[in-house]
Amino acid sequence: MAKKLAKRIEEHAFSVEIKSEQFVKRMSFLEREVDHFFFEGFLGQLQSVILIEGLMLEIVGVNGVLRVDITQKELVTCLDKTQYLGDA
């Protein structure tokens, strides 16, 4: 079980759930030979951003949900590295 969890965290899975195709801006298979894919859309007005059990970042908008498999430690480490790149 621990081995599966370690692999899951290492792979950083993600999912995107969009409520309607009208909110999908673009979805394409860039290079079929090398399996590159691109997905772009609109989550809309944000309703919540939460870290579920310290293992998954979930961003909920009125148009859909983006989930990223990332630990709290990894998230903090990445944010610390970018804090001087500019404020949003």
Distance CA 64, CA 41 (A): 9
Q: Where are the domains of the chain?
A: 2-82
Q: What is the pTM of this model?
A: 0.70
DSSP annotation of 45:
S
Tokens linked to 50: 């939460």
* Percent of the chain scoring above 90 in pLDDT: 30
Instruction: Evaluate if residue 36 carries a pLDDT over 80.
Output: no
User: What pLDDT does 16 receive?
Assistant: 85
Mean pLDDT of all residues belonging to the chain = 80
| Mean pLDDT score, 37-63 | 91
CB 56 within 8 A of CB 64: no
| Mean pLDDT score, 65-75 | 91
**Main-chain phi, psi angles of 46, to 5 degrees:** -70, 135
